[in-house]
Structure formats: structure tokens, C-alpha cells
Chain A
């Protein structure tokens, strides 16, 4: 493992306003190093998704600081946060969030297109990313023609195609059966082998523990436990 690609120090986040205002994060300190796969676990409502949003530059912390590849995010306007996401972060969502009207390759290309990458370079990269997740044969398939597992693979391809330093995955296996879940985690673990890239996976599925280098638990907005994982799985995407 190498230098941290993502660091959060004493992060506090308030959500809502007035009587409905709640403190979702209560001083969270966390770091993610390159070549590391970290599982973020915790019960529903514990603040996992809020933490992921703050770490992913979607929300700004109310207090504390977040540094993405050395760049502080505190106080940045939405477009600057958006630029940080473009430059350093890839997302994998629980519900995949693929564009139903676009083929698999176009869904992956989209992540490069929003970065302003020209089609001539972007399309081969998208094809390569789909090959990494084992979908070379489905590049022209539309999301509805793909199984849930295949859709999540396309989402992973979209997350890694721009070669981000950080991959944030929100419950990537929640909608999948165990075989597909295993395959998806294997791909994410393989991706985390890259020393310049850290992978943070939010989950409440303890079956994923063998894939992790480190596991952190969050409860009621506090990190309550951080321990080394037992990366025992044979990492192969095959």
C-alpha cells in the first residue's frame, strides 16, 4: 500500500435544517491508501451513505476536512467538487444507474465524454474497460438485455474507465445473488491491486469480509471499529 489517496479528518456533517436538522456524521476520521480495498460497514441509518457522499465530493463536510489526492474539498463550490469527481473518483451505485437508452459501451464512454475525452480515444478505452470486467462480448447490449450482474459490471467499467485514483462503491452486491456478488467483489478487489488506486466499498454484507484489506464500522455517525481484513480470496476475475 502507498500514500493515502483519500483522507477525512474529524468530518462532521449536518443534514436538513431547522427542527429536522440531524448530525449524520460526528467527527469521522478515515483514510484510504492506494492499492487498498476498504469495507465500510454499519447498520442502516448509521451514516454510511452520507460518509460516502462526503468522501466522494458530492457533499461538502460541515466541519472537518477531506482531501482527495491532496486536494482539500472544504468550501469548494459544486462545479469544483464536480471537477474533483471527474479527475479522481469513480462511482459504483447500488442500482447501477445505467442509461437505459445507451448500449454498454456508450454507458462506459459516457464517463469519459463528461471528462471531455475525444471519441477516437474514448471508445477503445471503454472497450478495454468492458474487457476488464469480462463483458467484451456484450459491448453493444443495452442494459435491459443484460443480467443484474452484467449491469453492475458495466457500472464498474464506467467507474474505472477514466483510471480514477479512488473507486467508491455503494452496496455494489446488494441487488445480486451470491455468485454474482462474489464475481463483482472479485473484480473490485482486482481493481484495488493497482497501487495508485484505493477502493472503498460500503456494505452490510459480512460475506465480503474476505475481500477487504481493512474493515471500518460506522454507527450513529461515529467510526466505532477499524481493523485489518483477511484478504483470503483468490483474486481473479475469470
Chain B
């Protein structure tokens, strides 16, 4: 397919492309976590073997400060378990919160990201993709009257009640678009065909929501606003931030399902003529349109994300959860490191008496903290991998990327180092003279 002189992939090719990209991203995240967990396990085994070998029997000599710190740490298994459990609990909580945040941030804009439009026209002050405000047909004509606008494809996004075949209703978000023009079409198709959406009463749903919609697959029927809706196409992984299922259909049928007048639409998807400066076109559109505005896909994504994650407090709640996890982790690790240091106070006093600098002892405590962090993170990463896999097909998947994994790793290290402060403060006050009196 050619558009503005460019070879544009067909809907089927796009679907295939997105499906592969999604699969590749998901598998690379799983791989990253898997590689990290395996790497930590191998490193842990090697380190354990090194730390428990004697200086006499080794070809490679383990630094004594590392050996001392590790053995102090492992000297009391119960305390070590308490420390590790604290770190794991904290980091799993942070991982889930941040993974959900990432997942939400992506889900919020997934429909915008999959829509082939250079500009979106929407009612003024539209907050997000799901905003139910409507445009008038006149806005479309105004847009089309401007030089450089090739298409202004209407799209309807509106809530409706899906009558579950077994009884009861569930809210759905109906997405209607002109099937003959480039608009927002379902992707990640696992059953059925895009052409089938032209059949009367045809709808597309995501298999994630089969249970909620009371259906089991292709060919099943239900009712929306007392009108038949038959599943002719099934997708996978098209989830909504609000967990309300999306129902894709033609524009006319969407209007019918939602009781929207035929001259109304939620969005107009603008296609600009080849060589048009989209920025200038946006300015002209905004001058021309009365009660509507034109945004680039990036601006609309950003506005939607900002609304859902920050204005509604959803993002703040996730961050608060992550922060709480961090605080719990810091308190537990600080408490156990403090008590471990207190138990080894006599040894640290001896170290001071035999001439050790404060720095040497601080290094011992910091290594203890870092070793705890590495072990705790290794276990938390393994649990995180499990959670990512278990939630992969759910309505609320927890996402993990190599970047987030790296950030969480350094966050764990930072948390444990911060926790070591209380122990270090205790060491500052240590009196080497106590070595003579104990």
C-alpha cells in the first residue's frame, strides 16, 4: 500500500509487525530477568566458594575485608534470613509497583500509539483517550477546508453496556472507526480477519476479557444496547488502563451501540498532504476550530498519561506503594545491620585497637550491606520474573524492562547502603579501649 509516496504496510502487515514487536519486547524482558537471576546465582555460588575457602588452599586470594564482611553476615543465619526477607519483601513490592506503573504508562497510550494519524482533533480540554466528549460534523468540514488536510477520519470512543449472555451487564469501551479508511483498527489478531468487521453486527474483542464478557471465542454473541454483537475477530494483549474491555467495530455500528447521533464523533484523525508542515497545520487547525483542538500523537499521549497517572492519583498511589516498600526495606535492613554491628562491636573495637582506620571498618559494613542487597535482589528478581510471567496474560500485567531491572538493582544497593548508615554511625563512636576491658 502506498501513501504520500511511501510504502505503507497493510493492516495485516502492521498487525504482524506489532505482534512480533510485542512478543520480542516481552521475551527480551523475560530474558533480561532470567539472565540476571542466573548470573547472580552463578556469581553467588562462586563467591560463596571463594569466601569459604581458606587463604592457604586458594590460588586466587579473596580480599580479607570481603571475607570478613561475608562471614560476619553469614555468622548468624537467622539474622541474615531476616535481612534478606526484608530486602526481598521490599523489592518485590517496589518491582510490582514500578512494573504496574510501566504497564499503566504504556497501556494508557496504547490506542493512541496504534492509530495512524498525524494530528488528532478532539473537543477542547479532552483529558484522555477515554474522554466521552463529542465533536460535531462541522469540525470535520472545517478541518477539511484547510489546505494540507487530506483526510479527517471520524472515530468514536464511548462507553456502553455489554449484556453478558449468561445474564448481567459489564461496561465496555466501544471504539468505532471507518473501516474503509486508515484509522484505529484492532491489532495482535489471533482469530478472525479484519475484513470480517464489515459483516453486520461484527465486533472485535480481546481474549483477555473473555471471562468478563461471558464469551468463549470467535462466533459468540452478546448484546450492546439491545443490539446484537457477534465476535468476528479476537485479539490478544489489547488491554485498557481502566480494565474496561475495548470493543472494536465500524463507526456506524459504534454510534448505534452507544446512542451517538450520526453527525458526532469523539476524534478526527487528520492525514496531512505530502510535504505539509504538520506543526504549522496544527497551528492553523487550532485557529480555525472553535470548540476543538488539534494535538500531535505525542502531545495527546503525554496528556493522557499525565491525566491517568498523575491527575487521578493512580500514579501517585503506585509511587507511594513503591516508596513504602523502600521505607520498609530500609528500616528492616538498617535494623538488622545495626544489631549485627552491635553484636560484632567487640571485634570492631579490636580492629580499631590494632590500628585499623575507621574507613576499613566502614568498608566491612558497606560490603555486608551490598552482599545483602545482591542476595536479596537475586531472590526478588526471580520472584519478579515469576510475577511478570504469571500476569503476562492478565488484564493488569506487570511489565519489566532491562532498564527497570537495572534501576531496581541499583535502588536495592542504594537502599542497603543507606541502611548501613545507622551501623556506621555506631562504629564512629566505638572506643578501642574496650578491647582491654572485655
Point out residues on A near B: beta carbons under 8 Å.
49, 52-53, 56, 58-59, 78-79, 82-83, 85-87, 89-91, 93-95, 97, 99-103, 105-106, 109-111, 113-115, 119-120, 123, 126-127, 139-140, 158-159, 170
Distance in angstroms from B268 CB to nearest chain A CB is: 72
Docked pose: A124 CA to B189 CA in angstroms: 70
User: Nearest Cβ in chain B — how far from A51, in angstroms?
Assistant: 11
Kindly list chain A residues whose C-beta atoms are within 8 Å of the C-beta of B357.
Answer: 79, 82-83, 114
How distant is B346 from chain A, measured CB to nearest CB, in Å?
7
Tell me if B68 and A101 are in contact (CB < 8 A). Answer: yes
- Contacting residues of chain B (321-366) with chain A, CB-CB under 8 angstroms: 346-347, 350-358, 360
Do B71 and A101 touch across chains, with their CB atoms under 8 A apart? yes
Q: How far is the CB of A111 from chain B (nearest CB, A)?
A: 6
Return the contact of B438 from the options A91, A95, A114 (Cβ within 8 A). A95
Q: Which residue of B lies closest to A87 (CB)?
A: B355
B residues near A93, Cβ cutoff 8 Å: 350, 353, 435-436
Given the interface contacts A49-B436, A49-B437, A120-B61, does A91 sit within 8 Å of B353 by beta carbon?
Answer: yes
Q: List 17 A-B contacts (CB under 8 A).
A: A56-B353, A82-B356, A85-B354, A85-B355, A90-B354, A91-B435, A93-B436, A103-B55, A106-B54, A106-B55, A110-B354, A114-B354, A119-B55, A120-B61, A127-B56, A139-B56, A140-B54
**Chain B residues within 8 Å of A101, by CB:** 68, 71-72, 75
Pair B54/A105 contact, Cβ less than 8 Å:
yes
Q: Counting CB contacts under 8 A, is B63 at the interface?
A: yes
Residues of A within 8 A of B57 (CB): 140
Instruction: A63 to B121: give the CA distance in the assembly, Å.
Output: 86
Smallest CB-CB A-B distances: 10 pairs: A86-B355, A101-B71, A114-B356, A85-B355, A97-B350, A119-B61, A113-B64, A140-B54, A49-B436, A53-B433
Extra contacts, 20 of them, besides A90-B354, A102-B68 (Cβ < 8 A), are: A56-B353, A58-B435, A58-B436, A78-B358, A82-B358, A89-B355, A91-B435, A93-B435, A97-B346, A97-B350, A97-B353, A97-B438, A100-B75, A101-B71, A110-B354, A111-B354, A113-B65, A114-B360, A119-B55, A119-B61
How many Å lie between the Cα of A90 and that of B353 in the bound state? Answer: 9
Chain A residue contacts of B355, Cβ below 8 A? 82-83, 85-87, 89, 111, 114-115
Pick the contact of A109: B64, B351, B360 (CB < 8 A). B64
- The majority secondary structure among interface residues of chain B is helix
B71 proximity list for chain A (CB < 8 A) = 101-102
B61 x A99 contact (CB < 8 A)? no
A-chain residues with CB within 8 Å of residue B350 when the two chains form the complex? 93, 97, 99
The interface residues of chain A lying within 8 Å CB-to-CB of B354 are 85-86, 90-91, 110-111, 114, 158-159
B255 at the binding interface (Cβ < 8 Å): no
The answer to whether B55 touches A109 (Cβ under 8 A) is: yes
B217 on the A face (CB < 8 A): no
Contact check, A58 vs B67: say whether CB atoms are below 8 A apart: no
Give min CB distance, A14 to chain B, whole Å: 14
Query: Which A residues touch B75, using CB under 8 A?
Result: 100-101
Measured in the bound complex, the distance between the Cα atoms of B329 and A112 in whole Å is 36
Contacts of A86 in B (CB 8 A): 354-356
Separation of A64 and B353 alpha carbons in the complex (Å): 22
In the bound complex, do residue A106 and residue B347 qualify as a contact, i.e. CB atoms below 8 Å apart? Answer: no
Chain B residues lying within 8 Å of A111, measured Cβ to Cβ, are 354-355
Which residues of A sit under 8 angstroms from B61, Cβ to Cβ? 119-120, 123
Residue of A nearest to B438 (CB): A95
Interface string of B368-407 (1 = CB under 8 A from A): 0000000000000000000000000000000000000000
A238 to chain B, nearest CB (A): 24
Does B116 sit within 8 A of A, measured CB to CB?
Answer: no
List residues of chain B with CB within 8 A of the CB of A97. Answer: 346-347, 350, 353, 435, 438
Could you tell me if A58 and B68 are in contact, using CB atoms closer than 8 angstroms? no
A33 CB to closest chain B CB (Å) equals: 22
Residues of A within 8 A of B360 (CB): 113-114
Q: How far is the CB of B76 from chain A (nearest CB, A)?
A: 10
B56 CB contact (under 8 Å) in A87, A102, A105, A158 = A105
Contact between A114 and B351, CB atoms less than 8 A apart:
yes
Kindly identify which residue among B55, B347, B436, B438 contacts A123, using a CB–CB cutoff of 8 Å. Answer: B55
Which residue of chain B lies nearest to A56 when distances are taken between CB atoms in the complex?
B353
